[in-house]
Structure 1
Amino acid sequence: MSLRVEQLSAGYGSIGVLRDISFTVEKGEVLGVLGRNGMGKTTLIRALAGTIAPSQGSIFLEGEEISKLPDYQRARRGITTVVQGRGMFPKLTVRENLEMGRIAGGRAKRNRRDEVLSYFPRLAERMNQLAGTMSGGEQQMLAIGRGLMTDPTVMLLDEPSDGIMPTLVRQIAETLAKINRAEGMTIIIVEQNVPMVFSMADRCIILEKGRIVAGGSKDEIAQSNLMKEYLAI
């Protein structure tokens, strides 16, 4: 078992966002988290990553409770997060951004740069380019690559298609699926781009007002009335 969440509630100060969230993601599984804006998807990613503290409930990674660990300690246990907006160091080069990922992980036993560049050949062409001068799609590739430099077992992705051309969205989704197959990495992807999620995910959950209102295989979710009601497709 890779990641287990039990009765998790979280928010910001007195404002509750997530309410009694429970799910399990097995090792090597891809879980898609769907829902409209403001339903708690990003808050879930932040709670799992450790950038906000849960008000109640527990998070377990490989059987170890990590609910009270800060984000950097979770990173050192194998959780990497690709935030919405990509979170680049715009004035650093591609090479330097990747190196920052390796340092931030604090646990990598090996330098994974060659593997990252094999997944994203476009980055190899831009190693000395400032990250802030690249396109949105290229920056997203760099953000994912930087996450891989930590040698993670769990990757959390928050809206990776945001602001990216459709052709690059498909390319990034295909690469993430390739990484998942090759490395057995557990992936939790928060997205409003339903086709992207369905191209990758083994299972999906739908969040509505901070609660899980549906869950199952992507085929079950695609055929559900909730999908039409909550996501208007």
Structure 2
Amino acid sequence: MLPTGACFGCEGVMLSLGGRRILSDVSLHVKRGEVLGLIGPNGAGKTSLFEVLSGRYHPQQGSVFLDELRLDRLDIFRRARLGVARTYQSPVVPNALTIGQTLRAARKAYAPMMSAHDAEWAARLVRLDASWDRTAGSLDTFDRRKLLLACLMMRRPRVLLMDEPASGLINTEIAELDLLLRKFADEYHLAIILIEHRLELLGAIADRVYVLDLGAMIAEGAPEDVFRDDRVQAAYFGGVA
């Protein structure tokens, strides 16, 4: 079971793919209203852990929890319906659809269907200011990320998994992203986990940070403490960023 007060996480996850061990006895947890950072060198297993948490991969051992509910045998679609939302490093959108058509498809994707009001609320929440008649494929990277976030947020998720959300953004956009994610956590009580190499983003908004190396957790704690940890310095800062 998760620690008292935790909303979402995993315990003792072991994952092997193609005969190779990817994750070894990995545990983490996040509370509602908390922003959790996940860092580590390339190949550490961060994205594979997200695949386990979101339901694309099922671990050979260990468990995934949302509140008191075991998720580890549920598929990715059932987890989404329970409130586990995810974004990817590349903000892939339906290029030929307009913003309005994309939001309409998202709100009608599964029951209960969301209203047009829900889509309008979500677009305002993420500060997506582009015309809804504009094609999604014409948006810049940050607005694509905002569109995808709007599609997720209209469903009022409980957990948000984000894989390198600052990738491709400039400093002013990262600052706006900081404020947006803290708003999600503080006002809407989302539990947020970020995979991120931009440590300035994590230093600004993360409450805690976990560090993966070679498929195992090697450190956890406040960002300023974790970034100074000798094991983290050796595995992350001295390795491949």
Q: TM-score, normalization: structure 1? A: 0.92
Q: Contact 1:101/1:146 (CA < 8 Å) preserved in 2?
A: yes
Q: 1:39 Cα deviation (Å)?
A: 0.8
Q: Which residue of 2 aligns with 1:136?
A: 141
Q: In structure 1, the residue corresponding to 2:63 is in which secondary structure?
A: strand
- Match for residue 193 of structure 1? 198
Change beyond 3 A, Cα 1:105–1:208: farther
- Which residues of 2 match residues 128-167 of structure 1 at below 5 A? 128-167=133-172
Partner of 1:69: 74
Deviation at 1:230, TM superposition (A): 2.8
Amino acid aligned to 2:88? V
| 1:163-204 alpha-carbon deviations (Å, 9 max, x no partner) | 222221221121111121110110011111111112121111
Letter of the aligned partner of 2:119 in structure 1?
R
Q: Is the 8 A contact 2:178 2:205 kept in 1?
A: yes
Q: How much does 1:207 deviate?
A: 0.5
- In structure 1, stretches of 5+ residues that fail to align are none
How many angstroms apart in 2 are the aligned matches of 1:134 and 1:186? 28
- Supply the distance in 2 between the matched residues of 1:147 and 1:102 (Cα, whole angstroms): 9
CA contact (8 A) 2:122 2:150 kept: yes
1:226 positional shift: 3.0
Q: Could you tell me which of 47, 51, 55 is aligned with 1:46? A: 51
Q: Does 1:173 pair with 2:178?
A: yes
| Residue matched to 2:14 | 9
Aligned: 1:113 with 2:110? no
> 1:205 and 1:116 mapped to 2: Cα distance?
30
Residue identity in the other structure for 1:119: L
What residue ranges of structure 2 are gaps of 5+ in the alignment?
1-5
CA apart distance, 1:98: 2.2
The 1:212–1:108 alpha-carbon spacing in structure 2 relative to 1, beyond 3 Å, is farther
Q: Radius of gyration: which is bigger?
A: 2
Aligned length: 232
Identity, % of aligned positions: 27
* Whole-angstrom distance in 1 between the partners of 2:218 and 2:234: 11
Give the 3 Å change call, closer, same or farther, for CA 94–195 of structure 1 in structure 2: same
**Residue 226 and residue 145 in structure 1: after superposition, are their counterparts in 2 closer, same or farther (change >3 A)?**
farther
Question: Distance in 1 between the 2:131 and 2:41 partners?
Answer: 35
Question: Hey, what's the Cα distance between the residues in 2 that align with 1:12 and 1:107?
Answer: 35
Question: 1:109: Cα distance to partner?
Answer: 6.5
Cα distance in 1 between the residues matched to 2:233 and 2:108 = 44
Does 1:20 pair with 2:25? yes
Match of 2:85, SS state, is strand
Corresponding residue to 2:61 among 52, 56, 61: 56
Q: In the aligned structure 2, how far is the partner of 1:61 from the partner of 1:205?
A: 19
Pairwise CA distance, 1:107: 4.9
Could you list the structure 1 runs, at least 4 aligned residues long, displaced by more than 6 angstroms after superposition. none
Q: Residues of 2 paired with 1:160 and 1:222: CA distance?
A: 20
What amino acid is aligned across from residue 214 of structure 1 in structure 2? A
The alpha-carbon deviation at position 11 of structure 1 amounts to: 4.2
Q: Which secondary structure does the structure 1 equivalent of 2:187 belong to?
A: helix
Partner of 1:183: 188
